[in-house]
């Protein structure tokens, strides 16, 4: 037990030293206005490089990713149906689909799917 504690402390110490060393070596000490500004073929930038975007696109992308992963989890269940108990598999799939529909209803109810604003 003591050996495990000593080894874990050594590993934590090595990790902390590595993080500190990389932090000290990667810091830029030379801050220049030209180096921090966006590059436009040697000219001063006309507009700001930080353009605002609609948060609605981000929300739709996150919702798409969540439901895409859930569908990827649902598809292999079709192949497993041949080898497993039918009642158990159907109840598992129905439970999974109900959770998906409740999540979709919650997103719809919270207004994440509205494009009015």
Indicate the pTM of the whole model: 0.46
Three-state secondary-structure class, residue 43: strand
Of the candidates 98, 103, 116, 109, the one whose C-alpha atom is nearest the C-alpha of residue 62 is 103
Range of the domain at 88: 55-110
Cross-strand bridge partners of residue 65: none
User: Any idea which residue has 């859930």 for tokens?
Assistant: 70
Residue 29 in domain:
no
Residue 88 in domain:
yes
Residue 90 in domain:
yes
Provide the percentage of residues in the chain whose pLDDT is more than 70: 76
Residue 44 in domain:
no
Specify the pLDDT at position 100: 85
Residue 103 in domain:
yes
Number of folded domains that form the chain: 1
Residue 96 in domain:
yes
Q: Evaluate whether 74 touches 93 at the Cβ level (below 8 Å).
A: yes
Residue 115 in domain:
no
**For residue range 48-76, what is the model confidence (pLDDT) as tens digits?**
666 677 777 777 888 888 878 888 888 88
Residue 18 in domain:
no
């Amino acid at each position: 037990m003591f050996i495990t504690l000593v080894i874990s402390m050594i590993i934590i110490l090595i990790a902390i030293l590595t993080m500190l060393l990389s932090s000290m070596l990667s810091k830029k000490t030379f801050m220049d206005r030209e180096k921090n500004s966006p590059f436009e073929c040697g000219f001063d930038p006309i507009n700001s490089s930080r353009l605002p975007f609609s948060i609605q696109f981000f929300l739709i992308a996150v919702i798409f990713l969540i439901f895409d992963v859930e569908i990827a989890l649902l598809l292999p269940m079709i192949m497993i149906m041949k080898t497993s108990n039918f009642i158990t598999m159907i109840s598992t799939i129905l439970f999974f689909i109900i959770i998906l529909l409740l999540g979709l209803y919650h997103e719809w109810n919270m207004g994440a799917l509205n494009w009015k604003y």
